[in-house]
Amino acid sequence: MTHAFSRASARPRSHAAFARACQLIPGGVNSPARAFGAVGGEPIFFASAQGQWLTDIDGHTYLDYIGSWGPMILGHRHPRVVAAIEAALARGTSYGAPTEAESHLAELIISAVPCVEKVRMVSSGTEATMSAVRLARGFTGRVKIVKFAGNYHGHVDSLLVSAGSAAATLGVPDSPGVTPGTSQDTIVLEYNDPEALETLFRSRGIEIAAVLLEPVVGNMGLVVPTPEFLAALRRLTAKSGALLVFDEVMTGFRLSYGGAQQILGVTPDLTTLGKIVGGGLPLGAYGGRRDVMDHVLPAGKVFQAGTLSGNPLAVAAGTATLEELRDRPPYAQLERHGAVLEEGFRRAAQAAGLPVWIARRGSMLTMFFQPGSRQKPAAAGFPVTGWQTASKSDTRRYAEFFWGMIDRGFYFPCSQYEALFFSSMHTDADIAATLAAAEEVLSGME
Ligand code: KE4
């Protein structure tokens, strides 16, 4: 089914821009997640954004359900964030020396995130997870890292093993260039499988430096942890001396002001952050127990450094974003809108006779399209509990849904294996218009 917008003729300037970019940048993009590889067609080039809206270089406007893959929880160009960046800019852009603003942002993070007693700022989520893994190994003196299939933690060599997000989308969950010597110390288990975790710790617990996971997964589509899985994670790591590391780059300040760990009631030993904590500018962070963090150079001997770590502009954007989230928490509204979207998508898919599994936490949601013939009302979809079930999705149907929504001006994630996000700027009318469009698209799908 070809779509008005999916044809390059719908966006001639994007088409030309993409052709030019492909001559200069691998795949024409600076990150594969935005390449539209899984949905076909060409990526859209954008000119500007404001609030909940994106405008492409052909002048089309879209309601934004990606929010820069998570950071824009307050919408684009929030006045408090813009003012903070402008004020910092008037004083300088980078010093390569400490500023008081970094301590203020550190205080905000420490007061918000339950496990964080000390924190180190870096420039991306990847740097945060890479550093946390090195710290866990340096602190414990152990080697093995446990991760879970379909979880994505950035493009860290040792973690690009059965990875999610663009790695899963584009079929390179174990990337070329990652050597056996690197990946041999990474153990991959299925998410939400406490028995596998028990078996591993029974035989190899003393080898394990850390267990790293997305506490609510966004990178295989949205998957929530079972209470049994969470309890096993915390019990087994505590008993064996391994560190429990929550990668909250996506969920931090998204699911609540204290992140996933606050709503799940499980306190890890380390947490990694990114996206929202930088307010849309390049900033990541890792933090946790003081006795662990004090092993980071120069307090301790675990090396980690960065020219632009704690960059004044990024710190200003992150600080303003966190202060706005603290002062006017949007989470009740995000929950209300999320529940309406979830129920509306479920009803529309059922009426269209399409088997789906819908998972949601707050303003993170995925509708997994599943194989099966159409029958009205649709048979219930099977639960998606980990990569083994997520990877059974009908990605062709997802692509058809994606383009149908693009045709109608709704910018959804360009992969079945991503979560959608929406902001505090999305209105009741925006949510209703989204559901009306989804009903139209779903009812017309093959
Ligand atoms: P960055 O290096 O992209 O800032 O963060 C890596 C990362 C780490 N941990 C989690 C849980 C993440 O979701 C991410 C990055 N997420 C992807 C989207 N699923 C970023 C989009 C992209 O790669 O362009």
Residue with tokens 């024409």: 28
Strand 144-148, strand 186-189: pairing: parallel
For a mutational test of ligand 1's pocket, the pick from 131, 275, 311, i.e. the residue with the most ligand atoms closer than 8 A to its C-beta, is 275
Distance CA 242, CA 42 (A): 44
Residue with tokens 């000119």: 47
Task: Give the CA-trace dihedral at 167, 395, 42, 426, to 10 degrees.
Answer: -90
Atom of ligand 1 nearest to the CA of 251: 11
Residue with tokens 């064996």: 240
What structural domains does the chain harbor? 4-64+330-443 (3.90.1150.10), 79-327 (3.40.640.10)
CB of 417 sitting under 6 A from ligand 1: no
CB of 237 sitting under 6 A from ligand 1: no
pLDDT of residue 75: 98
CA 368 to mean position of chain CA atoms: 17
What string of H, E and C letters represents the secondary structure of 276-292?
Answer: HHHCCCCCEEEEECHHH
Atom of ligand 1 nearest to the CA of 418: 19
CB of 69 sitting under 6 A from ligand 1: yes
What does pTM read for this prediction? 0.97
CB of 261 sitting under 6 A from ligand 1: no
pLDDT of residue 171: 77
Condensed to tens digits (0 to 9), the pLDDT of residues 178-196 reads: 988 889 999 999 999 999 9
Residue ID of nearest Cα to ligand 1 atom 5: 125
Question: Could you tell me which of 285, 223, 228, 227 has the C-alpha nearest to residue 252?
Answer: 285
Q: Residue 289 in contact with residue 269, Cβ under 8 Å?
A: yes
3-state class (DSSP) for residue 317: helix
Q: Residue 292 in contact with residue 268, Cβ under 8 Å?
A: no
* CA 370 to ligand 1 center in whole angstroms: 25
CB of 151 sitting under 6 A from ligand 1: no
* E-state strands within 214-249: 243-247
Average pLDDT of adjacent 10-residue blocks, the chain of 446 residues: 57 97 98 94 97 98 98 98 98 98 98 98 98 98 97 96 84 85 94 98 98 98 98 98 98 98 98 98 98 98 98 99 98 98 97 97 98 87 97 97 96 98 98 98 93
* CA 421 to ligand 1 center in whole angstroms: 14
C-alpha count within 13 angstroms, C-beta hemisphere, residue 158: 21
C-alpha count within 13 angstroms, C-beta hemisphere, residue 377: 8
Distance CA 433, CA 408 (A): 10
Burial 327-342 (b: 16+ CB within 10 A, else e): eeebbebbbebbeebe
**Which residues have a Cβ under 8 Å from the Cβ of 34 and sit 6 or more positions away?**
43, 414
Backbone angles phi, psi at 418, to 5 degrees: -140, 155
Residues assigned a catalytic role: 152, 247, 275
- Token couple for 331: 């989470």
* Cis peptide leading into residue 377 (ω within 30°): yes
* CA 153 to ligand 1 center in whole angstroms: 6
CB of 247 sitting under 6 A from ligand 1: yes
Atom of ligand 1 nearest to the CA of 125: 5
Question: Could you tell me which of 424, 390, 96, 93 has the C-alpha nearest to residue 218?
Answer: 390
Q: What's the first-to-final CA gap in the chain, in angstroms?
A: 8
The DSSP code for 41 is: S
The DSSP code for 52 is: T
- Token couple for 159: 């973690």
CB neighbour class for 348 (10 Å; exposed up to 12, middle 13-18, buried from 19): buried
Distance CA 304, CA 419 (A): 31
Backbone angles phi, psi at 26, to 5 degrees: -55, 120
Distance CA 300, CA 131 (A): 14
CB of 390 sitting under 6 A from ligand 1: no
pLDDT of residue 7: 63
pLDDT of residue 8: 65
Distance CA 92, CA 236 (A): 47
For a mutational test of ligand 1's pocket, the pick from 66, 155, 249, 366, i.e. the residue with the most ligand atoms closer than 8 A to its C-beta, is 249
